[in-house]
Amino acid sequence: MQFKSAAHLLAWAFETSERPILRSARCYDAGSAEVRGGGPVGMSAHDKHAQAAVVMAFLSSLPVGQKCVVFGLFNPTMRENMSIAAADSVPGKYGFQAARYAARMWMTPVSQKGATAGSEVELAGMAGCSAATAHRYKHAVWAELDTQYTAALKAVAHRFDELLRPAQEASRTGS
């Protein structure tokens, strides 16, 4: 089982841990417990869930700030709660609500930013400052969250290095 990056491993672990294990004729070959379809080849659904659980257990050992950004990015149902928790680890110059709002903006995927993440104008209103100041503040918060996320990815890559495909191999295979 090999992954392109630590972020790819995390995405797989979150997705796998959320997916139920189903036994159906379409998923299983007669006489074989191996799942057909996506994910690591040669592993049963139970093996995949066990591997995902190992990754999730490791995440629980990370410092709170790192844990918040990872869960906020990869688990949409926890995004709001994680933005509240992450607000404690970012610059709070303009108050808790502004920090939480900026953190939630960072955690929202690019494809959803226009619809649900909010705007700098709203952030300026919460912070009681100009839009330009809100823009600078948002980027200060995002820089801190980027630092936390990078540290989390490094910790995951270090712990699960045997599951990550070497960069040279990934570039050769074109994936």
Q: Domain residue spans in the chain?
A: 6-60+160-173, 64-155
Residue 19 has pLDDT above 90, yes or no: no
Q: How far apart are CA 104 and CA 126, in angstroms?
A: 14
Q: What is the pLDDT of residue 32?
A: 41
Contact 27, 69 (CB under 8 A): no
Q: Compute the average pLDDT of residues 42-46.
A: 81
Lowest-confidence pick of 23-27, 53-57, 139-143: 23-27
Residue among 93, 69, 66 nearest 83 (CA): 69
Which SS3 state, helix, strand or coil, does residue 35 take?
strand
Q: Give residue 163's pLDDT band: very low, low, confident or very high (50, 70, 90).
A: very high
Contact 44, 35 (CB under 8 A): yes
Contact 2, 163 (CB under 8 A): yes
Q: What is the DSSP letter of 38?
A: S
Contact 127, 94 (CB under 8 A): yes
Q: How far apart are CA 106 and CA 138, in angstroms?
A: 9
Q: Give residue 34's pLDDT band: very low, low, confident or very high (50, 70, 90).
A: very low
More confident residue, 119 or 41: 119
Q: What is the pLDDT of residue 112?
A: 58
Q: What is the pLDDT of residue 96?
A: 92
Residue among 95, 104, 103 nearest 140 (CA): 103
The fraction of the chain above a pLDDT of 70, given in percent, is 78
CB-based contacts of 9, cutoff 8 Å, min separation 6? 3, 55, 156, 160, 163, 164
Mean per-residue pLDDT of the chain: 83
Q: What is the pLDDT of residue 30?
A: 42
Q: What is the pLDDT of residue 113?
A: 55
Q: Compute the average pLDDT of residues 36-43.
A: 54
